[in-house]
Amino acid sequence: MAKSPPSGKRFPVRTYVFFGVLALVLLGFLWDGSPLGSLAVRKAVTAKFSTVRRVSPDELVAWSRDPNRPPPLLVDFRPPEQYRMSHIDGAVNVDPAAPDLAGLRRVTPETPLVVYDGPGLLGAAMVSGLSEAGFTRVSHLEGGLFRWVNEGHPVVDDAGPTTAVHPINFWWGRLLKSAHHP
């Protein structure tokens, strides 16, 4: 389990805000050497679907452990019942059927977000709402939660660590290792 994040402890939102602002400053210059433009431009950049960055499960783990980078806020973009069964520790649920960004209200737009669903489809709905809300640093977890657990990374439910992951349905469940079927 060397790849596991260090703990199941949640970061307070202000930590995200702090690192988000820091990330804005740092990454804004690192990006292409020019400061970020207006909100409209930022929206345009993030709304352009293909430019959404991808992060693999291992990269996410490394990122979370890297003291030199602002840790990402995880957004679990699945129906609440799937989230309740299990999710990546620290993830905030946004229901695709009724996208409500209330859970992200106190997060600055510059906070890096890593969005995931079950199988890792990168649907426009997953990011457009976030981009329209002004978030500029949206990444997508490659392979979604299925690949995350298939590669041995942990998930939690309200009671703590668990192995079960919601398979969505018969076909999608075929992409999930049987050990993770509820």
Partner 1 sequence: MTPARAGTAAAALVLGVLGGLSLAAPGSLPRLGPFLDPAHGVFAVARTAELPAHALADIPHLGAPVEVRYDARGVPHIFAAGELDAIRALGYVVARDRLFQLELQARAGAGTLTELVGARALPLDQETRALGLPDAAERSLAALGDTTRGRRLIEAYADGVNAWIDQLARAQLPLEYRLLGRRPARWAPENALHLFNRMGWVLTQSDLERRKAAAAALVGPAAADFLYPVESPLQEPIQPSGLGAPRAGTEPVPEPGPPAPDTVLAMEPAGAPASDHALGSNNWAVGPRRSATGHALLAGDPHLELTLPSIWYEAHLVVPDSLDVHGVTIPGAPAIVIGFTRQLAWTFTNVEADLQDRWLEVVDDATRPARYRLDGTWRPLRTRVETYRGPGGAVLAVDTLRFTHRGPLTRGADGRWVSLRWTVLEAAPALDALAAAARAADARAWLATMRAWAAPPQNLLVADRAGHIALRSTGRFPRRPTARGDHYLRGDTSATDWAGDWTVAEMPQAQDPPQGFVASANQQPVDPAEFPRYLGAGWLSPWRALRINALLRSHDTVTVDDMRRFQTDPRSAAAERFVPAFLAAAAARAGSDTLARAAALLAEWNGEFTVDNRRAVLFEAAVDALQERLWDELAGDGTGSRRAVPRPALVLAWRLLAVPASKWWDHPSTSRVEDRDDVLAEALVAAYHAVRERHGDPAGDGWRWGAVRTVSIPHLLHLPGFGAGGLAVQGGSTTLNPVTAGGGFGASWRMVVELGDSVRAWGTYPGGQSGNPASRRYLDRLPLWVEGDLAPLTSPGTVGAVGESSAALTLRPAP
| Minimum CB distance to partner 1 smaller for 24 or for 165 | 165
148 CB-contact burial (10 Å; exposed 0-12 / middle 13-18 / buried 19+):
buried
Radius of gyration of the chain (CA): 16
Least separation in angstroms between CB 174 and partner 1: 4
Least separation in angstroms between CB 121 and partner 1: 4
| Minimum CB distance to partner 1 smaller for 159 or for 171 | 171
Number of neighbours of residue 149 by Cβ within 10 angstroms? 22
Nearest residue to 161 (alpha-carbon basis) of 173, 149, 151: 149
Least separation in angstroms between CB 43 and partner 1: 17
- Rounded Cα distance between 150 and 64, Å, is 19
Least separation in angstroms between CB 17 and partner 1: 29
| Minimum CB distance to partner 1 smaller for 30 or for 98 | 98
Binding site for partner 1 (CB under 8 A): 49-50, 54, 119-125, 140, 142-144, 146-147, 168-172, 174-175
116 DSSP β-pair partners? 76
